[in-house]
Structure 1
């Protein structure tokens, strides 16, 4: 499954409401993407049974340029490096 396609955000975070790890990851992603000038978006998996089946035990799951990058936690240095040309 591809997390993003042409024209979509470079970083996609699969998350769900009430998840403290998701909140932490989203804050890191927002800060790093802002610093790097990269686009990002959040996908709420709570309303999608298939996404819950795939990612429910690993959220937050972070994709960069369509490839899975991290799960559970986001390392800001590692994410910044992945976003550099």
Structure 2
């Protein structure tokens, strides 16, 4: 089963740490999975997302950046 949520992050990012907790909690509670991608491992992703990390995609479409709204994520996955 492919993950419905893709979470783009980077090391040492406190916003990423906070957002990861929200994404993990919501996905766990709803029985969904998420894939985390470190943008620093790909120059194209660094160019694409720049300083917007964390960036969250749901079903292949950009959903949030910087912060993850828990209610909005639940609604998108519901």
Match of 1:46 in 2: 40
Compute the RMSD of aligned alpha carbons: 0.8
Q: Which has the higher helix share?
A: 2
TM-score (norm 2): 0.96
TM-score (norm 1): 0.88
Q: Name the count of aligned residue pairs.
A: 78
1:67 counterpart = 2:61: yes
Q: Could you tell me which of 6, 13, 23 is aligned with 2:17?
A: 23
- Once residues 25 and 56 of structure 1 are traced to their aligned partners in structure 2, the CA distance between those partners, rounded to angstroms, is 17
- Measure how far apart 1:8 and its partner are: 2.3
- Once residues 68 and 60 of structure 1 are traced to their aligned partners in structure 2, the CA distance between those partners, rounded to angstroms, is 11
1:30-64 CA-partner distances (Å, limit 9, x unpaired): 00001111110100011211100101221000000
Q: Which runs of 5+ in 1 are unaligned?
A: 1-6
Q: Which runs of 5+ in 2 are unaligned?
A: none
Dislocated runs of 4+, deviation >2 Å: none
